[in-house]
Each structure stands twice: as structure tokens, then as C-alpha cells.
Chain A
Amino acid sequence: MTKFDQRDVMPEVAERQRLRYREMSPGEKLALADGLWDLAWDATKAGVRMRQPELNDNGVDDQARRLMQNASD
């Protein structure tokens, strides 16, 4: 999960975030992680489509998988 860059965050927002994470159940956190994964996959595929509009759905999936595997971290 992305580390917060506190200079971008209003103090009251940072505090609300901290408290919400403390009270979240493990199930809620797992659901959040699912959402993060889904968005990363969706955005990666959108980028592939933008750069290679000639690819069909399978081709887009293949390229996105390759990017996932080669991601720096």
C-alpha cells in the first residue's frame, strides 16, 4: 500500500485516516486490497489499450500481465 506523503494531507484528514485504519476489520482490509488490485489491473490494461489500440482483449491481457511481472516493485 502506498505510504502517505504527509505534506499532501491536511492534519484532520491524516488523523481520520489513522483512526479508520485502526478500526477496520481484517475482512475490510482484505476487501480494500482487492480493490487496489482491481484498479491496478484495470489501469494497466487501459494503458496498454491506449498505446496499442490494435490489440484484441487477449492481447491486452497478455501485455498487461507482462507489465505486472516486470513492475519494479
Chain B
Amino acid sequence: MRPTDVVSVFAPPLLATGIEWMVAGGVAAIVYGEPRFTQVLDVVVALKPAQGHIFAQQFPDREFYCAPTEVIAEEAQREAFGHFNVLHLNSDARADIYLAGQDPLARRGLDAKRSVTLAGLTIPLAPPEYVILHKLRFKKLGASERHLRDIRAMLRVLGDDVDVASLQSDAESMGYAAQCIEMTQLAE
């Protein structure tokens, strides 16, 4: 049986697109923090509206459900927070694709991405500061407590490798004041 983990399923076609991307979300939270299970790969992609078909053709219908090209193009036109899903039909593994658009935080993350080898593949990984801010955003939108647990684990494991004061400043400037207070408490 072919490997069904989210990295083995989604990284090869993502690499084949030739478009700049990086892994954030739960998989990055495991690398920077503590182990947990996830069947979702959160990916930030610097996809331009005209590149929708280049992206979609790497996810053929016989193996994947990918959002239609016109939906991808529409999402790619958003200034920030464009989003769609790709589903692997056999394993039910899902990729949540977040489009960088003109979002300065996403651009900073992409510029500071690093390489990591997972499941035998060398893939681009978002820096920890981006992963934390991305999760604070979800928390602000009312998503589950899992994001705060991930942040707490990352802060605990990374220790001084993360500049918490700088993170707080970024979070406040992005309007995440309440989430920032929670994060401060987590870091203590």
C-alpha cells in the first residue's frame, strides 16, 4: 500500500507545480513543538490567478478532488486569505491551501522558509513565528483550542529560539490583541 500520510500524498504534486509554497499548520507545529496526529496539510502557496490550471493539473481527478480552476482563480484574486481544499480520494487526507495574495505576513513567512526532510522528501517549512501567527489568526476566527495547544507546545519546546516580544508586537499590529494576551500567558 502506498504511504497515506499527508506529506507523502501532497508534497510530490506540490513540488511538481514549480510554484513557491511552504508547510504551516499542524505538521509544522509537530516539527517545532510536540507530536500529535494530523490528516491535514496546511500549505501557503504564492499562487497567481493565472496559475490555477498549473496547480490543478498536478492533482488529477482519478486520485484527488481539487477545487475547480475558476474557484482557485477567484480565491487567488483575493488580497489575502484566499483558500481552497484538495482531497486525496483514497486516504481522505486533505490539504488546506492558503493563498499568499498580497498578505505581508505570508510573504515574510515565504521569504524565511526553511527546508526539512519528512517522509523522505525535502519540503519547504514555514518559520515558527509564521506558524504561531497563522494559528493566532484561526483562534481569532473562533477555531478550536487545538491551535492554542500547538502554540503552547511550540513555545515550550523552542524556548529562547522564538522572540516572544517580537511575536507579540506582530500579533498586536495584526489586531490579535486578545489572542496575544492568551499567547503571553501560554509562554509563561
* A residues neighboring B (CB under 8 Å): 1-3, 5, 7-10, 12-13, 16-17, 20-21, 24, 31-32, 35-44, 46-47, 50-51, 64, 67-68, 70-73
Binary contact track B112-141/A, C-beta < 8 Å → 1, others 0:
001011110000000000000000001001
CB pair B94 A9 closer than 8 Å: yes
B149 touches A39 (CB 8 A): no
Counting CB contacts under 8 A, is B56 at the interface?
no
If A35-B91, A36-B38, A67-B35 touch, whether A3 touches B157 (CB-CB below 8 Å) is: no
Q: How many residues of B contact A (CB 8 A)?
A: 48
Interface flags for B12-23 (1: CB within 8 Å of A; 0: not) read 000000000000
B8 CB, nearest partner CB in chain A, Å = 8
**CB-based contact B32/A47 at 8 Å:** yes
A16–B91 alpha-carbon span in the complex (Å)? 11
